[in-house]
Structure 1
Amino acid sequence: MLAVDGAPQHILPVVSTNSDLNPYPGKARVAFRSDGTFKLTVFSDLHFGENPWDDWGPEQDTNSTRLMKAVLKDEKPDYVVINGDLITGENTFRENSTTLIDEIVGPLNTAKVPFSSSHGNHDNQANITHAEEILREQKVSPLSYTRMSPPGVGGQGGQGNYWVPIYRKKTDAVPVLILWFFDSRGGFSPGPNSTPLPDWVDASVGEWIESETKAMNAVWGQPKKRGALAFVHIPPHIVTDLQLNLNSTKNPGLNADSLDGRGSVQATTDASNSGQDDAFWNALNKNIKNLHAVISGHDHGNEWCSRDLIKDVIFCFNKHSGYGGYTGADWGYGVRNLLYRSPEPRDGVETWIRLEGGETRARIILNKYY
């Protein structure tokens, strides 16, 4: 269900600075339904563009598109998030790599559902960049709320840091929910002489979080009635410890990917980089209040949630959605759904995994008791 008014226009602003702190003055506002609910569906790791030189690759893109159409038809979300690795940029051809974005957003355009994207390590490769994907998405979908980071925020290869306000009613001046999107970078720089990019959210994003939340509090008031939800493709390094203490009852869902390997979490491609995501992680948890969860993809075999007791924040994995990318024999494909039954931040959020065929599992409530 489309919960926006009017005909959306292409995204123009880069920096979220106007009198009411609305970063989308030329676009329709996204709002809760009239019954006070709001449903998000998260697609992750679609990996379009693999092996375009043979039949196998395009077939996987067709399968992923079929999954998207089926899920959108059944779930009827108010908002969609694509949480990284939209394209396998090391496989696709440079001359037509951005046109894969057209295929990815096609089902969303048809369903008339607003959406945002974060970007992953496979979206920064010799044949594609995060910035190119963002610009293409803005060009081919008026329903996209994806934006570029302000100048100086995000570091090399990390242009996708932004937030989206969600309102109780379309006419309200102050939002009740903020969706935050952070760019964990990774992958390689574009061109024939590619070099590795850092695989963590840059420290400049921590400073930006602090300044943005201060501006929000100044314009909208303290965040007592304002919830938050955060998305970043590569999970923060703290989830390695969370995996060691999972309980199948409290932390249901597939747990097939070990997080102690190189590249499985932020800042692990090089052992000397451990802890490089601390500035981001500390700023996020210090400044963003009523944070219901931080949600990541990247590790296709995981779909569990767990609370980080140190920061007192819940972390969740997505569900691998795309037929591209690595998989296991029994992992399946699907999405993570999140259902707000009320705009009140303390009421909690229901979340579960939905598989392509409609089966559901790992249903929990994200609240203070989880």
Structure 2
Amino acid sequence: MSLDPLRQRAATAFDHAFGGAPTAWVRAPGRVNLIGEHTDYNAGFVLPCAIDYQTVIGLRPRADRAVHVVAADHGAATDTFDLDAPITRRHDPLWADYVRGMVKMLREDDHALAGVDLVLAGDVPQGAGLSSSASLQVALGQAFRARCDLDGLSPTRIAQLAQRAENRFIDVACGIMDQLISARGQRGHALLIDCRSLEAEPVPLPAGMAVMIIHSRVRRGLVDSAYNERRQQCEAAARHYGVPALRDIDEATLHQHRAGLDPLVWRRARHIVTENARTLQAAEALRAGDLARLGTLMAASHASMRDDFEITHPAVDALVEVTRAAIERDGGQGGTRMTGGGFGGCVVALLPRERVDAVRAAIADGYRAPTGEPATVWVSGAADGASTFEG
């Protein structure tokens, strides 16, 4: 998507709040995960891509030690805090806590910070599982890197600090995927990320492919508590098998040494172990342009999330089936599955661009949320990660 509307919205809010214009601009994208769900906090593999929806920040230095923030998308609401004082949560509004948490982690990482005026604007759909929060936090890392000449603050370190803010300040036990793909995405590519080593291998998407994101309009209630519960179950399974993380066992070991493990916890572990294998196989399929194989793997991923990890929703299952049938009609190739933390939210599809209109029409005809609402569809390519840009 074009940066122009976001930049204009932020520039207008900046002039109204502070007078004049920003002296620097940064951006960071949201993301969608093609395959590899809940594997990141199990030190496993994920295959996301950055999307053409992002957070933009306009900034200008201040002479004092204050951070003054304006959220252009929230009625120009403001938050101000002092870099020399303790940084604590406000709880309401949540966007302010994401800002405060990221600044706190930068400070604790011994970066020399300075006062700044910031205006935030974004078009990453919120509450859809497309990582609007990671986009914001990574953009903030970019903003302070630009403001304070923090040349040693690498994209990977920004991602690590953004994850730390989510874990320690916001109290959500997320993995590193969202932040790392926002920081390091490459246009036209997914990234095969090893969430233990943080190595990220670009995997080109076949030419002419579109990334379709379909919001089921099922609101993701209680997702944080359920997410944390799944993480605890995975950690319990790893302790049972005597390994640091479930990434360290294969499917044969999973079956051979299951005695004494709670059946529910075992099924959670089975999803992680098989999902890691599927993710590596999906990267191979993409490299080979084997869209039929990719579709099979994405379907198996969705079934595993539905049956073993139990994070889908009946309406999301129905949306996946409508989308899959539309992609495969008349011999079409591609794949679809639920994406994100689960319990509602979005479906992702990878399909030829010439099929987009037909698939969109099939979804409009064949799906309604439990509330009667139609799905919302966004179409993207694989985008670049965070960067500065000219205002």
TM-score greater than 0.5 by the shorter chain: no
Larger Rg: 2
Q: Which has the higher helix share?
A: 2
- Relative to the length of structure 1, the TM-score reads 0.28
User: Greater relative contact order (Cα 8 A, min sep 6): structure 1 or 2?
Assistant: 2
- Relative to the length of structure 2, the TM-score reads 0.27
